[in-house]
Each structure stands twice: as C-alpha cells, then as structure tokens.
C-alpha cells in the first residue's frame, strides 16, 4: 500500500512539474495572478477537449520529403539545382506542416538570387504560371494554379532605432534564420535534390512546437526593438495556436511596449483582427493588457479593469465581463465585426459610472456614450470607417434594448420597435445580448434567456408577416413639407415620428386615410396650417 501511495505521489509530482515546465510563463505569474489564472484555466479547458487542441506531428526528414513530394517542390528543386543554388522552404509553411494545418502560401529562401530561381521556375511551369518581380526588395512571386510561392535571397538585417524598415545585406541561411521572429518560424527544409526534405532547425523550433511555446531565436529585446510589430505577432501566434509565451520573451514585451508607437495603425489593426478571429481572443487581450501593449492600442478598454467599492458596495469588473461576453459570442459566430461589437459593447461604462446612494453604482446611458465613442476609436485604430463601423456602432447602441424588453413584459409594440431599429442586424444583436448575460445567479440568467427566446419567437413571427415593409408610414416627409409649406425642420421630424410611433404601437393601421387624420390633428395642435 505504501509503495502504491509513493508511486502515485511521484506521478502526481511529475505531472505538475511537466505542466509548469510547458507553461514557461513565470513572469506572468509574478506580474498578474489574475491573468495567469485565466490563461491557465483556458489552456486546461482546451486540453480537456482534444478537438480544440492544436495537433502536432514530429516529422522525420524522410516524412518531410514524402509530404513535399509534389510537382511544385520538385520543380523548385530543379530550378535551384540548375543554377547551383541552395534553396529552402521556410517559415509558416514549415511550421504548419508540423501542426498539420493546410497552407498554399510557400516561402522559399535561396542562398543567392531568389529572383533568378523564380524566373527559372516560371519558364519550367510555362504559360499557366505568373511571375511578379520586386527588384527593390529583392523578391519575386510565382503564382501557379491555387499556389503562391514567394522567393527571397537569404539575407541579414540591421535596423535604425526610429524605423522598422531594415538595412538588408546578402547573407547565409544562418543569417536568414537569425532574423526570423520566432523559433517556430525559423525552421527550414532543404529542397535541393541531394538533401530534399532535410530539416534545418538551429533554434529547436520543433521542440517549442511540441511544448506549445512562443520564443524568439535570439535576444527578444533586440528582436522586438528592431521590429516592434513582432510583439503583436507574438501575442497573435500565442492566441491562435493556444501556445504560451516563453519567460524572457514575455518579459521583453513589457520592456519594449513603447516601441509599438512607430508601427502604423494599419499593421496593428491587421494583427488585432487576426487575434479577434481566433478561437479564444480573450487570451490575447489578457496578454496585451498585462504587457502594457493594450494601453497603447485601446486605453479605453484598459480603464474598464477597475472595481470601485463605496459603502461596502462594489460593481463587477467590466473588463473581465467584456472578455466573458467576447468568448460567449465566439462560441456562436465567426463574424469579425460582431466580435468587435462584443468587445466594445460596454466601452462607455467608465464615462457613465455614477454613485447613487439608494441603488449603488449605475451606468446609465453607457450604450449611447459607447456608440458615440466608436467612430473615434475606429478612426484612430485605422479600422474601416464604412458600413462595418456603422454596424458595430449600432449594435453597441442597441445592445440594452432586448435586455430591457426581456426584463419586462415582452410586448408586440416593443419588439416591433426593436425590429425597426435593428433592421437586418437583428439576429446578430440578439446573439450579442444573449452573450451579455453573464450573471452568476442562475435563476435570473435562465429567466433572461427564456425571455430572449420569447423575443426571438416574436421577431420571427413579425418578420414572417413582412412587418419590415409596413413599418415605414405611407406618408413621407416630402408630402408633409408640401402640405404645410415647410422646409426641412424639427416640426417635420415631429410629425413623421408621430406617424411612425402610431404604426409601431399598432394604434393606427399603416393606411393613408387614418394616418392623414392623425397627421392633421397633430399639425393643428402644433399650430400648423395646410395650403
């Protein structure tokens, strides 16, 4: 019995030791226990669900050669050999081979002229291939069927402090691998015939893939300072792959956060969108916040991570709530802009927070305030200022409406108004609102969800009867202005709203005669006369 207990204890100790070794993010523990706890729980949850865990296959050189046994790679091999140049497939394509992820974008490094090899490949493939040459950058691209191959000569890079544009020199394969952002992206597989399928992995990227680690090949401070966009890529890869950030690499994110200021908003927005589209974007946001990067990107979100207590009464942490809502939305939708709406749905709460002696903390009109903040945030972040911004703004403004309806009696009139204001985005709005119910009171939570179900049923019924067509009164503003000799003004808006409210509340049918009667009555009250 003692022997069994002893063996069990050893196995248990070994399990925890391995787990902590794989996590390798001790700086996170030291800096922010809440962040560590969240990320650890998320990783544990994913581990319990193998279908959501990134698969990894440790490939031998022979297996790599077998996987790369495709016409395009043999053609590249032939082109490089004809010029007596070393050639390697590198970066994301190699990484994704080990992760068993599909990829049609192939990056090839040539020790010599990549343009020469690309030109030779084009000639071999014939008219079906398209060659693009970028001589200023020393790169070339060959498009063939559904495959794109990027060619670049092996190079070494140096940087000026105030720019991420490198000074480029010809280099060796080693130089090229040294300049890569992360160990998992620094692996190369030889394509030359005599070494076809041979893995060159000087920084043990395979082991980091196996352990689920994001680490830089060289000093992370230099790596991030040279090109600060790599900090965003670091968080993005950790989020997409459900990997952890290696200790020193993680610490370097905080030390170099201010360097992000030299990166364009467009590049940051691109990385943010990729984080948002991952399975668990909230883990990326906890990384960004804990390292100080989020302060530079979305300070409006950071200020939400604050809980005030007065007279023994505290409000919930609005940042943590937002992360929970975002995760809830991700379970039901891949819509990028719905996810942005989830992230911003309570963005107005810090500005609207007030203390009321009778009821405690309040956030009245936070949806209206938040909606007004959206255009400036989108403009600053270089996110699109078109219909996508309007969509996010609308959902932020309307996200309280279904909750108010669900908390009270679900009336036809209220649902008609909601349908009219939300339009074609009504289903997305309902998804957001259902995700917003994060109450720990299960009875209250279930009551809301049941009422939301009733709202959805009424919405479906109204849509089926084509209320959308009927919601616009048959007397428009132009006719009103003509009747009462008015130019566009507040009075015209008041009269239009009167007719619209009457139709929405089902007080008057959407027919010309009863609406005209109501219009004349209201106009008389306002002191307006017809011709």
pLDDT in tens, 99-125: 998 887 899 999 999 999 999 999 998
Same-domain pairing of 373 and 290? no
Tally of structural domains, the chain? 4
Least confident of 54-63, 114-123, 341-350: 54-63
Confidence of residue 489 (pLDDT cuts 50, 70, 90): confident
Last residue of a domain, one of 191, 211, 231: 211
Q: Whole-model pTM?
A: 0.79
Output the pLDDT for position 86. 94
* 251 & 118 share domain: no
In a domain, 425, yes or no: yes
160 and 263 in a single domain? The answer is no
Together in a domain, 370 and 430: yes
Supply the pLDDT for residue 457: 82
The range of the structural domain enclosing residue 290 comes to 1-55+220-297
Q: Does any domain span residue 308?
A: no
Instruction: Give the CATH number for residue 258.
Output: 1.10.110.30
Domain shared by 205 and 224, yes or no: no
349 SS3 class: helix
Residue 157, H or E segment: strand 155-158
- Is 50 exceeded by the pLDDT of residue 44? no
Q: Do 169 and 76 fall within a single domain?
A: yes
Is residue 178 domain-shared with residue 113, that is, in the same domain? yes
pLDDT at 520 over 50: yes
Residue 462 domain flag? yes
Residue 92 shares a structural domain with residue 192 = yes
On whether both 197 and 73 belong to a single domain, the answer is yes
pLDDT of residue 30: 39
Let me know: does 226 contact 157? Beta carbons within 8 Å.
yes
Q: Is residue 283 part of a domain?
A: yes
Average pLDDT over residues 17-46: 46
- Joined tokens for residue 463: 């849509």
How far is 52 from 279, CA to CA, in rounded Å? 9
- The answer as to whether 530 is a domain residue is no
Quick one: 265 and 293 in the same domain? yes
Is residue 71 helix, strand or coil?
helix
Task: Mark whether 116 and 203 lie in a shared domain.
Answer: yes
Q: What is the pLDDT of residue 18?
A: 39
pLDDT at 230 over 50: yes
Pairing outcome for strands 105-111 and 147-153: parallel
- Token pair recorded at residue 60: 């031998």
- The pLDDT score that the predictor gives to residue 31 is 47
Q: How far is CA 418 from CA 25, 207, 413, in A?
A: 47, 54, 9
Nearest by Cα to 294 from 316, 322, 328, 314: 322
* Distance in angstroms (rounded) separating the CA atoms of residues 205 and 212: 10
Residue 32 has pLDDT above 70, yes or no: no
User: Last residue of a domain, which of 282, 297, 312?
Assistant: 297
In a domain, 455, yes or no: yes
Chosen domain end from 182, 211, 240: 211
Residue 315 lies inside a defined structural domain of this protein: no
- In angstroms, the CA 30 to CA 290 distance is 11
Residues 396 and 271 in one domain: no
* Residues 6+ positions from 327 with CB-CB distance below 8 Å: 280, 281, 282
């Amino acid at each position: 019995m003692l022997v069994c207990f002893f063996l069990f204890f050893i196995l248990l100790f070994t399990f925890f030791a391995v787990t902590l070794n794989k996590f390798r993010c001790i700086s996170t523990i030291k800096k922010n226990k809440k962040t560590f706890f969240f990320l650890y729980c998320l990783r544990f949850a994913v581990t319990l669900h193998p279908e959501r865990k990134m698969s990894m296959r440790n490939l031998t050189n022979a297996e790599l050669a077998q996987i790369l046994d495709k016409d395009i790679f043999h053609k590249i091999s032939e082109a490089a050999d004809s010029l007596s140049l070393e050639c390697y497939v590198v970066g994301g394509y190699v990484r994704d081979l080990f992760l068993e992820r599909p990829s049609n974008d192939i990056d090839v490094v040539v020790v010599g002229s990549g343009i020469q090899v690309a030109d030779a490949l084009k000639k071999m493939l014939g008219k079906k291939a398209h060659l693009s040459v970028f001589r200023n950058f020393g790169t070339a691209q060959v498009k063939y069927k559904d495959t794109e191959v990027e060619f670049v000569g092996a190079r070494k890079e140096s940087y000026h402090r105030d720019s991420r544009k490198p000074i480029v020199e010809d280099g060796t394969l080693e130089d090229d691998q040294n300049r890569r952002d992360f160990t998992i992206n620094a692996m190369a597989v030889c394509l030359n015939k005599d070494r076809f399928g041979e893995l060159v992995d000087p920084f043990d990227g395979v082991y980091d893939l196996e352990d689920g680690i994001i680490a830089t090949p060289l000093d992370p401070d230099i790596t991030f300072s040279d090109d600060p966009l790599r900090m965003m890529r670091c968080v993005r890869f950790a989020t997409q792959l459900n990997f952890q950030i290696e200790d020193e690499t993680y610490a370097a994110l905080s030390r170099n956060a201010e360097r992000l200021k030299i990166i364009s908003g467009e590049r940051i927005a691109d990385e943010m969108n990729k984080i948002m589209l991952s399975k668990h974007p909230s883990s990326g946001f906890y990384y960004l916040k804990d390292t100080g990067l989020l302060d530079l990107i979305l300070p409006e979100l950071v200020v939400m991570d604050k809980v005030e207590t007065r007279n023994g009464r505290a409000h919930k942490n609005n940042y943590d709530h937002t992360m929970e809502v975002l995760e809830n939305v991700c379970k039901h939708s891949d819509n990028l802009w719905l996810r942005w709406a989830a992230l911003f749905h309570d963005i107005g709460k810090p500005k609207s927070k007030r203390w009321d002696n009778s009821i405690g903390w309040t956030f009245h009109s936070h949806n209206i305030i938040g909606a007004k903040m959206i255009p400036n945030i989108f403009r600053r972040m270089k996110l699109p200022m078109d219909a996508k911004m309007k969509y996010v703004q609308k959902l932020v403004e309307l996200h309280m409406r279904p909750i108010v309806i669900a908390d009270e009696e679900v009336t036809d009139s209220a649902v008609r108004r909601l349908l009219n204001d939300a339009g074609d985005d009504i289903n997305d709005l309902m998804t957001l609102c259902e995700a917003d119910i994060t109450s720990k009171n299960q009875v209250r939570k279930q009551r809301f969800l049941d009422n939301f179900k009733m709202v959805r049923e009424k919405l479906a019924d109204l849509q089926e009867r084509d209320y959308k067509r009927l919601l616009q009164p048959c007397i428009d503003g132009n006719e009103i202005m003509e009747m009462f000799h008015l130019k566009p003004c507040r009075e015209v808006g008041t009269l239009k709203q009167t007719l619209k409210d009457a139709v929405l509340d089902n007080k008057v049918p959407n027919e010309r005669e009863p609406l005209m009667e109501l219009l004349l009555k209201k106009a008389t009250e306002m002191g307006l006369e017809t011709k």
